[in-house]
């Protein structure tokens, strides 16, 4: 939960609903196939289309502790993709645009780690080029520049 909040807190509201009466009340009030309960996770995009098209809000789950990192990454990527699709990053770019250059240090968990002057940057798979795996766009040692 903490990693999800750290990665998406500026673009999404994150709620943890413990399994129990509150989770069942929420599920009973959501459209069919859009519920979330019992340790499952889901990102709901802006708008209401997800209510009639549940595939817009895929359910993410881990069957055991070893699958938590995958489910966490899927939820983070869902939030970033949905924010991108909604144009949320376009507003930020217009007011806070900065050109940065660096060298790709490596690709970890579908994210390129970029060594910048004075720090590190992250290029999430969902923001690089939709539908194309990050490994096909970047490699360790590659010099990159972006906004």
The pairing of strands 143-146 and 100-108 is: antiparallel
The confidence score (pLDDT) of residue 92 equals: 45
The verdict on 85 and 120 lying in the same domain is no
86 and 124 in a single domain? The answer is: no
Whole-structure pTM value: 0.62
Is residue 7 in a domain?
yes
- Joined together, the tokens standing for residue 13 give 């509201």
For the chain, count helices (H), then strands (E): 6, 6
86 and 24: one domain? Answer: yes
Whether 147 is in a domain gets the answer no
**Domain boundary residue, one of 73, 91, 109:** 91
Q: What is the pLDDT of residues 38-73, one digit of tens each?
A: 888 999 999 899 999 999 999 999 888 999 999 999
Is residue 25 pLDDT above 50, yes or no? yes
The answer to whether residues 81 and 103 belong to one domain is: no
The verdict on 23 and 86 lying in the same domain is yes
pLDDT-above-70 percentage for the chain = 93
For the segment 110-140, what is each residue's pLDDT rounded down to a tens digit?
Answer: 788 899 887 888 888 777 776 778 888 889 9
For the chain, what is the domain count?
Answer: 2
24: containing domain = 2-91
In a domain, 47, yes or no: yes
């Amino acid at each position: 939960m903490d990693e999800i909040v750290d990665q998406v807190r500026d673009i999404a509201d994150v709620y943890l609903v413990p399994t129990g009466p509150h989770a069942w009340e929420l599920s009973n009030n959501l459209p069919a196939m859009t519920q979330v309960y019992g340790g499952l996770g889901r990102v709901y995009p802006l708008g209401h289309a997800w209510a009639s098209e549940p595939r817009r809000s895929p359910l993410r789950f881990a069957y055991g502790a070893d699958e938590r990192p995958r489910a966490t990454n899927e939820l983070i990527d869902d939030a970033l993709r949905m924010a991108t699709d909604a144009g949320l990053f376009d507003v930020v770019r217009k007011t806070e645009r900065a050109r940065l250059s660096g060298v790709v240090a490596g690709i970890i968990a579908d994210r390129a780690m970029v060594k910048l002057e004075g720090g590190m940057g992250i290029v999430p798979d969902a923001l690089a080029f939709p539908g194309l795996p990050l490994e096909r766009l970047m490699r360790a040692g590659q010099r990159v520049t972006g906004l």
